[in-house]
């Protein structure tokens, strides 16, 4: 329900008004950074649309429709989301993982893509919305509604939709059956094909306020001190998901930090001829991170993390701590490292890391990507 969604009152008011005025757009795209409540908002909006006894500001929570929404089991609510194809499967659709999707959302509506991949796989493989999902979308929307006036189709992360699938749903997205609502929820709208973007009403979901995050953290982590909660809220950059990971001392974040420290130190040592093993050490590092055990999804997450760390270290040189969003251990490392990130190399470093991320997503040979990357880092740190 809207009451369960942290902050975002302006967005809630907009959704409520659209239902009261009976002017519900047929295709809306909710976009913003992970952890701001986009998916929770979409589901709360869908529940409000379907509720039989809605109040002025929310669904009633007790009517038969709301009871089913509480379990994400309403017959007129449909989901599409990225999945990982099992090794022996020839086809796979979102409904194959619907029970897992319900479980993870009910446990934590602010879960992230990494959490989802860990639940349905080993967290190392990349998922997608496969091409055959389009047939399921068309089939479901061709059916009459069972209980509600509206059918609602929520597509989580449409940027991960196979191009063939995206092209097949264009027409129904533009001219859906009567009383059909599409709610697309995206972290990266720039990666959605333009023909889909042009057919949706786009709604930017802003970052959460520090005080909103702090209040949520106090309820979820009563064992944490007020100082820990305040620090996590400040450096979360408006993302409740990031704040959760910070207080949980996420293993993935620590691992990414260790890898970042290792590659930057090795690159500096090789560049300054202080590593007698020369490029062999870097070659070993690139082979280790390119291994199948780590997987492309975790490789991507490391590269995204590294881009953020480069930016934070550049900002650290400005000597304005309030502009930095790093943990204590990241800040400690940056005391000595940040002078090597300057106006001569910061843009190129971020550009090379982003390029490597894109190539990993495109299934380019990972060993080549990472070895080429470390060679470029060596040169850029010397600028």
Residue in 212, 140, 214 with CA at minimum distance from that of residue 176: 140
Structural domain 2-204, CATH architecture: 3-Layer(aba) Sandwich (3.40)
Q: Which residue has tokens 């306020």? A: 209
Residue in 54, 69, 52 with CA at minimum distance from that of residue 12: 54
Tell me what the mean pLDDT of segment 308-325 comes to.
Answer: 84
Which has more confidence, 328 or 346? 346
Q: Are 267 and 382 in contact (CB under 8 A)?
A: no
**pLDDT bucket at 268, cuts 50 / 70 / 90:** confident
Query: Which residues face 129 on adjacent strands?
Result: 161
Tell me the average pLDDT of the chain.
Answer: 89
d(CA 350, CA 36): 24
Domain regions of the chain by residue span:
2-204, 209-248, 249-381
Say what the pTM is: 0.83
Per-residue pLDDT tens over the stretch 184-230: 999 999 999 999 999 999 999 999 999 999 999 998 888 888 888 88
Q: How many Cα atoms occupy the beta-carbon half-sphere of 58 within 13 Å?
A: 12
Tell me what the mean pLDDT of segment 135-145 comes to.
Answer: 89
Angle between helices 9-20 and 38-50 (to 10 degrees): 20
State what percent of residues in the chain have pLDDT above 70: 97
């Amino acid at each position: 329900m809207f009451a369960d969604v942290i902050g975002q009152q302006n967005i809630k008011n907009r959704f409520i008004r659209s239902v009261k005025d009976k002017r519900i757009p047929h295709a809306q795209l909710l976009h913003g950074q992970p952890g701001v409540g986009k998916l929770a908002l979409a589901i709360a909006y869908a529940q409000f649309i379907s509720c039989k006894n809605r109040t002025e500001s929310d669904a009633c929570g007790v009517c038969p429709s709301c009871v089913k929404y509480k379990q994400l089991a309403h017959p007129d609510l449909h989901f599409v989301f990225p999945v990982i194809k099992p090794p022996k499967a020839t086809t796979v659709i979102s409904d194959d993982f619907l029970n897992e999707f319900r479980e993870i959302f009910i446990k934590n509506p602010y879960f992230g893509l990494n959490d989802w991949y860990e639940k349905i796989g080993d967290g190392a493989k990349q998922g997608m919305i496969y091409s055959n999902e389009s047939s399921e979308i068309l089939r479901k929307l061709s059916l009459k509604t069972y209980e509600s006036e509206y059918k609602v189709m929520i597509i989580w992360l449409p940027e991960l939709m196979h191009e063939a699938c995206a092209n097949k749903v264009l027409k129904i997205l533009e001219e859906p059956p009567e009383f059909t609502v599409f709610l697309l929820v995206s972290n990266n709208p720039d990666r959605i094909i333009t023909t889909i973007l042009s057919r949706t009403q786009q709604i930017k979901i802003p970052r959460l306020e520090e005080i909103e995050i702090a209040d949520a953290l106090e309820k979820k982590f009563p064992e944490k001190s007020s100082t820990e909660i305040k620090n996590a809220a400040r450096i979360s950059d408006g993302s409740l998901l990031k704040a959760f990971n910070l207080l949980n001392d996420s293993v993935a974040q620590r691992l990414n930090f260790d890898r970042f420290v290792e590659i930057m130190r090795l690159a500096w040592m090789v560049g300054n001829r202080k590593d007698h093993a020369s490029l062999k050490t870097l070659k070993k590092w690139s082979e280790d991170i390119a291994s199948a055990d780590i997987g492309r999804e975790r490789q991507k997450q490391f590269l995204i993390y590294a881009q953020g760390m480069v930016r934070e270290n550049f900002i650290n040189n400005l000597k304005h701590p309030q502009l930095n969003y790093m943990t204590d251990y990241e800040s400690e490392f940056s005391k000595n490292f940040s002078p090597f990130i300057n106006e001569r190399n910061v843009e190129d470093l971020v550009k090379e890391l982003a390029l490597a991320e894109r190539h990993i997503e495109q299934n380019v040979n990972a060993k080549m990507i990472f070895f080429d990357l470390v060679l470029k880092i060596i040169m850029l740190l010397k600028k």
